[in-house]
């Protein structure tokens, strides 16, 4: 690396386009809503920045606070499910023979390259009352009835099959988030597990610890950086999602993302929407700071 | 005995194989169903009724859907070119130079990657209305707000990819080139750029998929005249799912999968030499 003074012109040509773009289309827009969050509506489309905290107070009144808490829990539950589902997958891939490793990884990444909207839409067809899950359940129900008929137990299954209401509720939102963001969890987990020093695992097993004990006492702590990265990569987008809750959720599955969207698109309460967006941003910053702190601590200890 | 899995042969344990299989089925089943349904000769029924290409024909005749698809491709193409240039230049600045505020620039340029998309979406929506960004221009100039927003979230990814590539570059090659009489520009063009190339291609393809894929930010920055494919599909889905949407989605899935496979093909030889 050299000082920029060695070639100031080259340096500026390299740096300025990115800096300009970042300033104009990222920091200025964010600065605008940061200001609007501290302002008041004075006309149909006019907002005066009065440095009031009223919008933040409004955004945290019980109605909206409840939504934040609900979004938080839904995102947390989905993240936890992602972690539990992904860990064995990441572990198995990182210990797989080198020959099939890239293939397995590709298998996990490929859906991630498919459009978010298309994947959410695909989930509707699976979960709706005439969807694939209910169709399979009905088939199983028919088989069960046939099997139970000779011993006279078929009334247990009822007169007719009632499809389960799988779509348009909170469960559907959680399933949708897990479905969409699962690869975000597998990849960082795989990245750490793949670099992990296997002799620790072997030592633990040689010294008589069971697989399960080795897993929780050795593998999981060593994989912590990947776990934290994965949690952040899933949790932050899940917290701000509005597409998944909009398409898969019911009337009671409104998340904070939906409320923000409404403030900007139809309710036209920009100050409130801006304040809510910034609360979401502050939560993100806290999460990122936490990760930085954890990784610094791990480096110091390691 | 030889066939018993070793203690760390996790992939050879049946329950882990079952687990992976279940996760893969979970990831693929909805997409496969969507694709299959697009060829199914029935509007509502999910049971196979026979093969048809009818919905592809209807999707093709749906003018607004085709318009949205064209918009998506134009946006993705222009945004990719701009993101690749801007992102790669910034990567070079960060890789090559020491300057005051370097870590601030580095962290700042990574922010669009990590913040919730909806925050960036609403911020850009407010920005474009406040600055009075011209609307109602002739096509494709009216796509500019969408294109510029896509560049804003895509170029940081290019920066990350290109920087990662440049980490492995041996600076003495540049010195050798200059010692042998090449100018600064010749050195860049003949030594640095060829080394960067796999990173540039990977970054460009990443930017392209991100742009084609984006719904949230486009949803906030596009107007009624400048819908992209995902935003158009969204409004169609809100009015009820139809097999035309499946057909159009299938086309987009095929396009992105092809792009991904090209990206991976281009990246893997680079890994071997590096």
B11-64, pLDDT tens digit by residue? 677 888 889 999 999 999 888 888 888 888 876 666 777 788 888 888 888 888
Tens place of pLDDT per residue across chain A (302 aa): 788 888 888 899 999 999 999 999 999 999 999 999 998 887 777 788 888 888 899 888 898 999 899 999 999 999 999 999 999 999 988 888 888 888 888 888 888 778 888 888 888 888 877 777 777 888 888 888 788 877 777 777 777 777 778 788 898 999 999 999 998 899 999 988 988 888 888 888 888 888 888 888 888 888 888 899 899 999 999 999 989 999 898 888 889 999 999 999 887 889 999 999 999 999 999 988 988 888 888 777 75
What would the pLDDT profile of A271-283 be if each residue is shown by its tens digit?
999 999 999 999 9
Residue A296: count of CB within 10 angstroms of its CB: 10
Residue B240: count of CB within 10 angstroms of its CB: 7
B-chain residues near A4 (CB < 8 A): 97-99
Residue A38 lies in a domain: no
Taking the Cβ of residue B104 and every Cβ of chain A, the question of whether any pair is shorter than 8 Å is answered with no
B-chain residues near A242 (CB < 8 A): 118, 216
Preferred mutation among B82, B85, B97 to probe A, highest tally of A CBs within 10 A: B97
Q: What is the CATH number of the domain that holds A226?
A: 1.10.3720.10
Query: Does the ipTM surpass 0.90?
Result: no
pTM confidence score: 0.87
What mean pLDDT, rounded, does chain A reach? 87
Q: Are residues B107 and B223 in the same domain?
A: yes
Q: Three-state SS string across B36-70, please?
A: HHHCECCCCCCCCCCECCHHHHHHHHCHHHHHHHH
Distance of alpha carbon A68 from alpha carbon A256, whole angstroms: 6
Residue B195 lies in a domain: yes
Interface of B with A in 48-77 (CB under 8 A): none
Q: What is the CATH number of the domain that holds B202?
A: 1.10.3720.10
Q: What residues have CB less than 8 Å from A87, skipping those under 6 apart?
A: A189
pLDDT band at B259 (very low <50, low <70, confident <90, very high): confident
Residue A88 lies in a domain: yes
Whether B91 and B163 have beta carbons less than 8 Å apart is answered as yes
Residue B58 lies in a domain: no
Q: Are residues B178 and B45 in the same domain?
A: no
Q: Are residues B99 and B143 in the same domain?
A: yes
pLDDT at residue number A302: 59
pLDDT at residue number A63: 86
Q: In chain A, how many domains are there?
A: 1
pLDDT band at B272 (very low <50, low <70, confident <90, very high): very low
- Using the predicted structure, report yes or no on whether residue B219 has a pLDDT greater than 80: yes
Q: In chain B, how many domains are there?
A: 2
Residue B57 lies in a domain: no
The Cα-based distances of A56 to A39, A151, A237, B168 in angstroms read 10, 65, 22, 47
pLDDT at residue number A87: 93
- Which range of residues forms the domain containing residue B100? 63-273
Q: Are residues B231 and B264 in the same domain?
A: yes
Q: Are residues B232 and B109 in the same domain?
A: yes
Q: What residues have CB less than 8 Å from B201, skipping those under 6 apart?
A: B263, B266, B267
The Cα-based distances of A167 to A74, B158, B245 in angstroms read 16, 38, 19
Residue A173 lies in a domain: yes
Residue A205 lies in a domain: yes
Helix axes B14-38, B243-273, angle to 10 degrees: 130
What would the pLDDT profile of B231-257 be if each residue is shown by its tens digit?
988 888 887 767 888 888 888 888 878
pLDDT at residue number B6: 66
Tokens read off for B141? 């100039």
């Amino acid at each position: 690396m050299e000082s920029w003074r060695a070639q100031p012109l080259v340096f500026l040509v390299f740096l300025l386009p990115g800096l300009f773009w970042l300033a104009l289309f990222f920091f200025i827009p964010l600065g605008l809503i940061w200001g609007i969050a501290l302002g008041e509506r004075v006309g149909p489309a006019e907002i005066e920045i009065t440095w009031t905290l009223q919008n933040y107070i409004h955004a945290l009144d019980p109605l909206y606070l409840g939504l934040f808490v609900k979004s938080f829990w839904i995102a947390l539950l989905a993240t936890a499910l992602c972690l539990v589902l992904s860990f064995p997958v990441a572990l198995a891939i990182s210990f797989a023979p080198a020959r099939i490793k890239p293939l397995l990884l590709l298998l996990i990444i490929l859906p991630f390259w498919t459009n978010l909207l298309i994947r959410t839409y695909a989930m509707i067809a699976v979960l709706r009352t005439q969807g694939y899950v209910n169709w399979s359940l009905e088939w199983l129900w028919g088989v069960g009835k046939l099997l139970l008929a000779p011993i006279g137990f078929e009334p247990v299954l009822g007169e007719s099959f009632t499809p389960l209401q799988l779509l348009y509720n909170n469960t559907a939102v959680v399933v949708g988030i897990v479905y969409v963001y699962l690869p975000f969890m597998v990849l960082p987990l795989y990245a750490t597990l793949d670099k992990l020093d296997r002799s620790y695992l072997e030592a633990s097993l040689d010294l008589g610890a069971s697989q399960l004990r080795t897993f929780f006492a050795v593998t999981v702590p060593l994989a912590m950086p990947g776990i934290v990265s994965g949690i952040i990569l899933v949790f932050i987008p899940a917290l701000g999602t509005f597409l998944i809750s909009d398409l898969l959720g019911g009337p009671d599955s409104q998340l904070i993302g939906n409320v923000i969207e409404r403030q900007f698109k139809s309710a036209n309460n920009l100050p409130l929407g801006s304040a809510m967006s910034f609360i979401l941003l502050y939560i993100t910053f806290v999460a990122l700071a936490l990760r930085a702190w954890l990784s610094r601590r791990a480096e110091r200890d390691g | 005995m030889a066939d018993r899995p070793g203690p760390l042969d996790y992939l050879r344990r049946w329950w882990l194989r079952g687990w992976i299989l279940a996760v893969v089925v979970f990831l693929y089943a909805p997409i496969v169903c969507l694709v299959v349904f697009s060829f199914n000769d029935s509007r509502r029924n999910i049971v196979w009724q026979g093969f048809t290409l009818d919905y592809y024909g209807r999707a093709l005749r749906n003018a607004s859907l085709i318009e949205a698809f064209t918009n998506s491709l134009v946006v993705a193409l222009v945004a990719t070119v701009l993101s690749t240039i801007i992102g790669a230049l910034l990567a070079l600045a960060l890789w090559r130079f020491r300057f005051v505020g370097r870590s601030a620039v580095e962290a700042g340029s990574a922010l669009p990657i990590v913040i919730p998309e909806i925050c960036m979406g609403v911020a850009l929506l407010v920005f474009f209305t406040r600055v009075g960004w011209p609307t109602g221009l002739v096509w494709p100039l009216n796509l500019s707000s969408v294109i510029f927003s896509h560049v804003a979230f895509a170029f940081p990814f290019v920066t990350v990819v290109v920087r990662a590539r440049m980490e492995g570059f041996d600076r003495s090659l540049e010195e050798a080139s200059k010692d042998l009489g090449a100018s600064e520009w010749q050195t860049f063009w003949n030594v640095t750029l060829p080394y960067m190339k796999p990173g540039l291609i990977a970054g460009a393809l990443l930017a392209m998929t991100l742009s084609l894929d984006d719904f949230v930010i486009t949803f906030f920055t596009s107007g009624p005249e400048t819908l992209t494919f995902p935003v158009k599909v969204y409004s169609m889905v809100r009015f009820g799912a139809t097999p035309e949407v499946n057909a159009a989605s299938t086309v987009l899935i095929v396009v992105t999968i092809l792009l991904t496979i090209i990206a991976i093909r281009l990246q893997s030889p680079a890994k071997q030499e590096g």
